[in-house]
Amino acid sequence: MLKEAVEKALAKVRPMLQADGGDVELVDVTEDGVVKVRLKGACGSCPMAMVTLKMGIERYLKREVPEVSEVVAVQ
């Protein structure tokens, strides 16, 4: 249920990332609300990727899905 809510929220963020040649893939959501994502395309090598992850994706997911505690990037 939580994973579905996160995927729906990511679907709203994804077009902005894709406009810059990047993307985000949901890898896992843990029981304690940690969302693991993989940044792809231009986002994978962008020097601002962590800012995008924390200030963009994480902030949005926490607002849309209150159960989210943190968003982390995995390889």
Look up the CATH number of the domain holding residue 6.
3.30.300.130
How many C-beta neighbours within 10 Å does residue 15 have? 9
Provide the residue range defining the domain that includes 36. Answer: 2-73
The type of residue at 56 is: G
Number of domains in the chain: 1
Task: With beta carbons less than 8 A apart as the criterion, state whether 73 and 49 touch.
Answer: yes
How many C-beta neighbours within 10 Å does residue 23 have? 18
d(CA 23, CA 2): 21
Q: Rounded to the nearest 5°, which phi and psi values hold at 65?
A: -130, 90
Confidence of residue 75 (pLDDT cuts 50, 70, 90): confident
Asked whether residue 54 carries a pLDDT value surpassing 90, the answer given is yes
Q: What are the pLDDT digits (tens) for 7-47? A: 999 999 999 999 999 999 999 999 999 999 999 999 888 88
Both structure tokens of 30? 């843990």
